[in-house]
A and B are shown apart, each in its own frame.
Chain A
Amino acid sequence: MGIHRGHQARPVEWLAEKFIFFVSLSAILMVLLIFLFVAREALPVFFGQTNTALVQKPIPPDEMDKHSPAELQAYLELTPDEFAKTERKTLRALMDVKLEAQDDIPEDFRNDPDARINTTEWKYLLQSHQWNGYDKPEYIWQPVGQIKKFNIIPLFVGTLKVTLIGLLFAVPLAVGAAIYVSQLARPRLRETLKPAIELLSGIPSVVVGFFALIVMATVLQSLFHYQTRLNAFVAGLALGFAVIPVIFSIAEDALTSVPRTYTQAALALGASRWQTAWQIVLPAALPGVFAATVLGFGRAIGETMIVLMVCSASVMSWSIFDSARSITTTIAAEMAEAVNGGPHYRILFLLGALLFGATFVSNMIGDFVIHRFKQKLEGKR
């Protein structure tokens, strides 16, 4: 065994190490590629290159040459690439189609001021707008119909509502169960409870959604007497069931790995088992418990099926007893109907990219907080 044994002596180890390195590298690459793919489709909306105004100033095909290629391309809603590839004859035909389409606009909308609005502008995506026929400005997500309304605020509110209800329900229950199982339960009970709770995570979310839709919704309505049977509250609780095993599993591991010596020291001082669990073990496991919560948040915000089944009206309301539509649900439900490359399609991708960004940022913050907790516990600060 020389000092410079190095890699040459063990080629298999060297190979294995490099292989693992490339696998982990490819994971990072995958995340990046997925984000790029999603963001690329959303770029035209981002830079205001889409136009959904129903009534546009028509350009007669004969006046084609009076306009710059850029203007024509925007008018025909083509990408620069597509525009460059299209022959002049086809372009002319497309302009005819465009002109005819303008003629097909129903009479009612001809003079509607809303029909002249490009609803994919950031202003209309994020701010409330008083649409024709409404008596006050409102946030509306209504991607079908003559005038398509793409306000994404109700979707964010819906996501937040459902996720927070789910976490408020799941975190105390899951952490409580983790404390009980890891600190208080007798060994035999622990061996039964732990797999039972973790088994919950094996239930497909569509089954949880079905159960919530049929059973929970009815039971909860008869208990709380609210008006809308399918609402964010039911969805949140059902979401909680999906999240509990995730949080429980990690929190339980964190609590179990707190050194037994802490527990013994506290008990020897005359603390009860409950005081020991609550005042000594839980604070010592806080980074892990917090990490479990962050992971649960990620699971909750990404959960699609349960919310889709239980409630999906995109109403703008902070009330938990109103319906809600989350971002993921919107994407899942509408992607199949959205015209490939159209404004609706692009906005769904924009939603995906925003969700990606939000999750990324929340994970970063979570990571930072965990790091601070750890340093504090280890006495490095």
Chain B
Amino acid sequence: MAETLIPKIATPATTLTAAKTGTPLIEIENLSLYYGAAKALKDISLKLEEKVVTAFIGPSGCGKSTLLRCLNRMNDLIDNVRIDGAIKIGSHDIYAANVDVIELRKRVGMVFQKSNPFPKSIYENVAYGLRLHGFQSKSELDGTVEQSLRNAALWDEVKDRLHSSALGLSGGQQQRLCIARAIAIKPEIILMDEPASALDPIATTRIEELILELKKDFTIVIVTHNMQQAARISNYTAFFYIGELVEFDVTAKIFTNPAKKQTEDYVTGRFG
């Protein structure tokens, strides 16, 4: 499978300024973020297209996870965070005063680095988000839970034990359950924060296959430390270094013919 992926990413066959040609779903404009006095993100501007996979890469502490968490306002939970600039999703500024954060997070789902299913049954894990957003009828819930688990390639493994605890699943299964939970409420965008970094190679492969499957329906932004992974699954790649966006382009170009020396050094493994 993995070998066929590289040609796949070349299919957008677009020019260098790829992001300008498609419909930008997410527009990040001059975004700066401060933790207290420390500036963690420096004046970042970025346009992300709809229904593609965009990977954020860069060494630890470069701000890629922080930027990801800006997209569903998870940074609101941290004290002393200040944000300048704007993020528009579907041309609405998500940091505007009248934005309903709950509505935003329904549209922008998230999968975390460490799988974090609730200590509830497998069924309840997926149904929880649905209930939050007003689904009540049993048949509707059952249908959506099954569909989500199927889409997350987990259904066949858990269909006989939907009502046993999610914590009894393996690490890879738990992460796929978290993906099922995120896609159940039908977000437009799914943010993934190193979703496979705690998994073994086989489980990682399954997650990657799943991401390629999901990009038909969702816009995916993924943070990863694993450059092979970024090369395998993403259409676009953004390289960050110490809070700055160094380069953003079609993945194939970033990995084969980067414009900046810094990017080349990083993707070839000279530092990071």
Q: Which residues of A contact B (CB under 8 A)?
A: 186-187, 259, 261-262, 264-272, 275, 279-280, 283-284, 376-381
* B74, B77, B116, B117: most-surrounded residue (chain A CB, <10 A): B116
Query: Closest Cβ of chain B: how far from A269's Cβ, in Å?
Result: 4
Pair A269/B132 contact, Cβ less than 8 Å: yes
Query: Closest Cβ of chain A: how far from B148's Cβ, in Å?
Result: 12
Pair B119/A284 contact, Cβ less than 8 Å: yes
Pair A379/B168 contact, Cβ less than 8 Å: yes
- CB within 8 A of A270: which of B114, B133, B164, B178? B133
Residues of chain A with a CB closer than 8 A to B231's CB: none
Closest-by-CB residue of B relative to A273 is B77
Pair A269/B168 contact, Cβ less than 8 Å: no
Pair A280/B165 contact, Cβ less than 8 Å: no
Pair B128/A270 contact, Cβ less than 8 Å: no
Pair B118/A280 contact, Cβ less than 8 Å: yes
Pair B74/A268 contact, Cβ less than 8 Å: yes
- CB within 8 A of B129: which of A186, A269, A284, A377? A269
How long is the Cα–Cα vector from A90 to B119 in the complex, in angstroms?
Answer: 75
Pair B118/A379 contact, Cβ less than 8 Å: no
- CB within 8 A of A378: which of B117, B165, B181? B165
Pair A270/B105 contact, Cβ less than 8 Å: yes
Residues of chain A with a CB closer than 8 A to B185's CB: 269-270
How long is the Cα–Cα vector from A216 to B132 in the complex, in angstroms?
Answer: 43
Pair B119/A262 contact, Cβ less than 8 Å: yes
Closest-by-CB residue of A relative to B130 is A269
Contact of A275 with B132 at beta-carbon distance under 8 Å, contacts A264-B112, A266-B118, A267-B105 already known:
yes
Pair B120/A264 contact, Cβ less than 8 Å: no
Pair B112/A269 contact, Cβ less than 8 Å: no
Residues of chain A with a CB closer than 8 A to B120's CB: 283
Contact of A268 with B105 at beta-carbon distance under 8 Å, contacts A284-B119, A377-B165 already known:
yes
Q: Is B26 an interface residue (CB 8 A)?
A: no
Q: Is B160 an interface residue (CB 8 A)?
A: no
Residues of chain A with a CB closer than 8 A to B128's CB: 266, 269, 279-280
Query: Closest Cβ of chain B: how far from A145's Cβ, in Å?
Result: 59
Pair A270/B168 contact, Cβ less than 8 Å: no
Q: Is B110 an interface residue (CB 8 A)?
A: yes
Contact of A378 with B105 at beta-carbon distance under 8 Å, contacts A187-B79, A267-B74 already known:
no
How long is the Cα–Cα vector from A259 to B117 in the complex, in angstroms?
Answer: 11
Query: Closest Cβ of chain A: how far from B43's Cβ, in Å?
Result: 26
- CB within 8 A of A284: which of B102, B118, B133, B182? B118
Pair B165/A270 contact, Cβ less than 8 Å: no
Pair A261/B112 contact, Cβ less than 8 Å: yes
Residues of chain B with a CB closer than 8 A to A283's CB: 119-120
Q: Is B72 an interface residue (CB 8 A)?
A: yes
Q: Which residues of B contact A (CB under 8 A)?
A: 72, 74, 77, 79, 102-103, 105-106, 109-110, 112, 114, 116-120, 128-129, 132-133, 164-168, 178, 181-182, 185
Query: Closest Cβ of chain A: how far from B167's Cβ, in Å?
Result: 4
How long is the Cα–Cα vector from A264 to B102 in the complex, in angstroms?
Answer: 13
Pair A270/B167 contact, Cβ less than 8 Å: no
Residues of chain A with a CB closer than 8 A to B167's CB: 377-379
Pair A268/B72 contact, Cβ less than 8 Å: yes
Give 25 A-B contacts (CB < 8 Å), ordered by A residue: A261-B112, A262-B119, A264-B77, A264-B112, A265-B178, A267-B105, A268-B72, A268-B109, A268-B112, A268-B182, A269-B106, A269-B128, A269-B129, A269-B181, A270-B106, A271-B102, A272-B102, A275-B132, A283-B120, A376-B165, A377-B167, A378-B165, A379-B166, A380-B165, A381-B165
Pair A379/B165 contact, Cβ less than 8 Å: yes
Besides A269-B182, A283-B120, 10 other CB < 8 A contacts?
Answer: A262-B119, A264-B112, A264-B116, A268-B112, A269-B129, A269-B181, A270-B106, A271-B132, A379-B164, A380-B165
Contact of A269 with B105 at beta-carbon distance under 8 Å, contacts A378-B165, A378-B167 already known:
yes
Pair A377/B103 contact, Cβ less than 8 Å: no
Pair B129/A270 contact, Cβ less than 8 Å: yes
Residues of chain A with a CB closer than 8 A to B106's CB: 269-270
How long is the Cα–Cα vector from A271 to B102 in the complex, in angstroms?
Answer: 7
> Ordered nearest first, which 6 A-B pairs have the shortest CB separation?
A379-B165, A261-B116, A379-B168, A379-B167, A268-B110, A270-B105
How long is the Cα–Cα vector from A275 to B119 in the complex, in angstroms?
Answer: 16
Residues of chain A with a CB closer than 8 A to B72's CB: 268
Residues of chain A with a CB closer than 8 A to B79's CB: 186-187
Pair B119/A378 contact, Cβ less than 8 Å: yes
Residues of chain A with a CB closer than 8 A to B129's CB: 269-270
Closest-by-CB residue of A relative to B128 is A269
Pair A265/B132 contact, Cβ less than 8 Å: no
How long is the Cα–Cα vector from A265 to B129 in the complex, in angstroms?
Answer: 10
Pair A262/B116 contact, Cβ less than 8 Å: yes
How long is the Cα–Cα vector from A171 to B12 in the complex, in angstroms?
Answer: 61
Closest-by-CB residue of A relative to B113 is A261
Pair B74/A262 contact, Cβ less than 8 Å: no
Residues of chain A with a CB closer than 8 A to B114's CB: 261
Residues of chain B with a CB closer than 8 A to A279's CB: 128
